[in-house]
Structures are given as structure tokens and as C-alpha cells.
Amino acid sequence: MKNFTTMKWILITLLTLASIQMAAQPDDLPDEKRREKIDALKRAYISDKLELTVAEAEKFWPVYNEYDKKKSEVKKSINKTYKAIKAGGKSEQDVKQSIDYLTTKRKEEADLDAAFLKDCLPILGTDKVIRLAGLPKEFQKELVQKIKERRQQRGMGPGGRRY
């Protein structure tokens, strides 16, 4: 139990330090570095909220990493298709094909989510899997709120422009 408490405090400390570090960075960080920082914050957030034991974390993170990689690829293809549609100049047939493709990718995304949660059941148990299902959206909501607060403190408006 002492080991769990120690790990929890370490995670909280890391999350706090990462938040401070992220807040201290200028907004012109390269996208790759920004993505890495957000991923680190997300991992700390999930670990803290699920109260993962060391044994659970060792089994959970490889499963999560594989899921995250696959989901990222699906999202990239969805975003690429949306950009192509928005660019215009497509025939009605091309748009219909794009819509079919998007529908297929959205189903693939839902299937990935379901398979991931099922894969986590034997690792985390039902209570933690139920909590896990909503954590990515919770994290995203909190992150967006913190970014808005930080921009307000810096006197910046939407899109990072100064007032």
C-alpha cells in the first residue's frame, strides 16, 4: 500500500511539473514537441485517475500504445479526407465515395475503441475500464480549459492572437 501511495504522489508531482513546464513554453513550439508534451500529460492523467498499480501499468501501457497508434492513423486518414472534401472541385460521385470512406473509417474507429476496452478488462477490471472509457474526453476538456485560461492570462484571444 505504501508503494502505491508513493507512486501516486510521484505521478501527481510529474503531472504538476509537466503542467508548469507546458505553461512556461511559448506558443510557437513545433507541433511534434507540443504533441509529445500533451501525450505525457495525458498518460499521467490516465494513470492518476485510474490509480494504476505498477503491475497494471506494465500490462496496460503497451496495450494503450498500440491502440493509440492505430487510432491516430485512422484519425489522420479521416482528417485528410475532410480536407480533400473542403478543398472542393469534386464531382458528386467523388463526394459520395468520400462519405462512404469516412463512414467506414468512423466504424473502424468505434471498433478500435471497443476492442481496446475489451482488451483492458482482464488487465484493469470492470470498474477501471468503465472509468477509462470517459477519460480521454475528460482530459481533452480539461486541457482545452487550461489553454483558454493561459491565453486569457497572457491577454490572447481565440486562435492565439493578442488583443
Amino acid at 28: D
What's the mean per-residue pLDDT of the chain? 84
Per-residue cell: 126: 470492470
pLDDT at 89: 79
pLDDT band at 57 (very low <50, low <70, confident <90, very high): very high
Contacts of 26 (CB under 8 A, 6+ apart): none
- Total domains, the chain: 1
Cα torsion through 115, 117, 120, 124, rounded to 10: -170
Per the structure, the complete domain to which residue 83 belongs is given by: 2-160
pLDDT band at 29 (very low <50, low <70, confident <90, very high): low
Global pTM value: 0.71
pLDDT band at 19 (very low <50, low <70, confident <90, very high): low
Helix, strand, coil % in the chain, rounded to nearest 5: 85, 0, 10
pLDDT in tens, 79-128: 999 898 888 878 889 889 999 999 999 999 999 999 999 999 999 999 99
